Structure 1
């Protein structure tokens, strides 16, 4: 199935009441991954924006909420006045140290991750959550950290992570090159 057909099928799938009511692989709330060729990023972004605008106009039984993970990171850094400090720190210590410093300050690998808390606090009742910006966030944020922490914290809405790469219901391969060795309890949305 080509990407346009998969996006059409995904849009139809989330509109079904059963999508919002069924449980995930281990009886938790739904977690879905929509993988796509990385070179199709702009097409996917356009469709998500279209769906979000359409949801605002339609009388759907749910609210589509889109969280760009990269924007969450940048907003955090700006609020803390860390952006300029990060640039200086990178010059002195290197990019690897910035990744570690940002991850630590946002508690990315912990159950009380600031990203997960932000998503929880900004997700209304009867919502479907779209997570975007996975590719833009790498290597500051690894998608498995967000998924694992969301699953542990119980988010009251189905989650669809848009993933620029490949997901085979066992492993994620970012940009079809960077393999993540973590196991995921998420369904692949539209094969």
Structure 2
């Protein structure tokens, strides 16, 4: 989803959007009504997937190049700076001895930040901001608390609130290092 940010003079100052995963949509030729066809494409349940792209537990296909291509397309289409207001991955994680080793999240961010850097440095895209989603685990609109997005683990599950204690995940320390290095150090070499 995306939306332009408009100033008082009704000129767009920048374009904001979120990116989580790719989605394959294909035309449905046997539906003639355009409204029904749009719904069929948007809520396509035929299960088309892009070959060779891994997916998380919920079937979200992960393709960082999709972010780069989206950045290039949006910038060429709207000729305004871009702001990625959400980018992240939901993972079913477990707290083990007070720690969460979420290397899958780190790999996701490494690839997506690299794709963003390539769009900026090689394709000339003007990206003015990037926000990882999310700083802390929260109740997701889908899959309750099982789908965790945060860098900070909240000790609760869907059935039981528990003590709600917060635990910094491995990705917390990794992302902190990325911020301090101004996105130049993406190595997963955190001593956790």
Q: Which structure has more RCO (C-alpha within 8 Å, separation ≥ 6)?
A: 1
Larger proportion of helix: 1
Bigger Rg over Cα: 2
Q: Output the TM-score relative to the length of structure 1.
A: 0.41
Q: Output the TM-score relative to the length of structure 2.
A: 0.41
